[in-house]
């Protein structure tokens, strides 16, 4: 049974929206996340998700907004975060720029919301629709590599950030394909993004965004 025309139009709209969001992020994020863009994009996609969920009650699970397997799907991401955070902290200590300003706590609280939206766009929208295509949808390796390249490309031209997000996505895409849950991935994305900027790049993302 083929998808309904309205569903296909919604998928195309979502893909176009994800492409526009990624392009604006690439153009405006050279000096750190643009707070106006982040707020505007978040409101747009939250509204879109609500509207689509009212039209199709199954779409939330398709996109990866699930609670029934949250504990199981969170184990590996949290373990990965623990190891990565310890490694980043050790690196910052060796380099002599380890710090943890108080406002980092606020960043760890709020950044995951934006992290969930980013994972929803890359995994729920892009990878989810690639799965529907003949050829790439049945080729798991190609699907993983394509999803990872899409996610990392929006962090160009910062080589270290692009490389870091590429490695992260190479873990995230297969995890999504197995558990279909973007919530723990977005949470860890927000936490790791904060600490990677602070400890690996020696840049305070809160000050870069809010001054």
What is the rounded distance in angstroms from the CA atom of residue 56 to the CA atom of residue 58? Answer: 5
Q: Please report, rounded to a whole number, the percentage of residues in the chain having pLDDT higher than 70.
A: 95
Q: Is the pLDDT of residue 5 over 70?
A: no
Confidence band for 2, pLDDT divided at 50, 70 and 90: very low
What is the rounded distance in angstroms from the CA atom of residue 183 to the CA atom of residue 65? Answer: 6
What is the rounded distance in angstroms from the CA atom of residue 113 to the CA atom of residue 87? Answer: 24
Give the H/E segment covering residue 195: helix 183-195
Q: Is the pLDDT of residue 23 over 70?
A: yes
Quote the pTM value.
Answer: 0.91
Inter-helix orientation angle 104-119/183-195, to 10°: 130
Rounded alpha-carbon distances, angstroms, from residue 155 to 5, 148, 158: 34, 12, 6
- Residue that is written with structure tokens 């995890």 in the block: 175
Tell me the mean pLDDT in the region 38-48: 95
147-205 residue pLDDT tens: 999 989 888 877 888 888 899 999 999 999 999 999 999 999 999 999 999 999 999 98
Closest CA to 196 of 109, 76, 107: 107
């Amino acid at each position: 049974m083929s998808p309904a025309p309205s569903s296909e139009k919604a998928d195309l709209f979502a893909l176009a929206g994800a492409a526009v969001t990624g392009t604006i992020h690439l153009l405006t994020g050279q000096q750190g996340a643009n707070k106006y863009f982040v707020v505007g994009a978040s409101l747009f996609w939250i509204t879109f998700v609500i509207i689509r969920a009212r039209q199709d009650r199954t779409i939330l699970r398709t996109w990866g907004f699930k609670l029934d397997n949250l504990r199981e799907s969170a184990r590996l991401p949290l373990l990965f975060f623990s190891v990565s955070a310890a490694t980043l902290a050790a690196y910052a200590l060796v380099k002599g720029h380890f710090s943890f300003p108080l406002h980092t706590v606020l960043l760890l609280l709020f950044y995951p919301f934006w992290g969930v939206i980013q994972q929803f766009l890359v995994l729920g929208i892009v990878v989810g629709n690639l799965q529907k295509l003949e050829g790439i949808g049945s080729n798991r390796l190609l699907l993983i590599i394509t999803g990872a390249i899409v996610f990392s490309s929006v962090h160009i031209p910062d080589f270290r950030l692009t490389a870091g997000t590429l490695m992260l996505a190479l873990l995230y895409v297969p995890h999504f394909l197995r558990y279909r849950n973007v919530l723990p991935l977005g949470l860890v994305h927000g936490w790791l993004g904060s600490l990677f900027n602070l400890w690996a790049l020696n840049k305070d993302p809160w000050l870069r965004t809010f001054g």
